[in-house]
Amino acid sequence: MPDIISAISCRRFSPKLNKQKVICMALLHDFGEIYAGDFTPLDKVEALEKQLLERQSVQQVLSKLPSSSTYLALWEEYEAGISPEANFVRQIDRLEMGLQSSKFSRCKKLFRLC
**pLDDT string in tens for the chain (114-residue length):** 555 666 666 666 677 899 899 989 998 988 888 898 887 778 888 989 989 999 999 999 999 899 899 999 999 999 999 999 999 999 888 887 777 766 666 666 656 655
The answer to whether the pTM exceeds 0.85 is no
d(CA 42, CA 13): 35
pLDDT number for residue 57: 93
- Count structural domains, the chain: 1
CATH number, domain with residue 33: 1.10.3210.10
Cβ-contact 58, 78 below 8 angstroms:
no
Amino acid occupying residue 27:
L
Q: Domain range spanning residue 106? A: 2-110
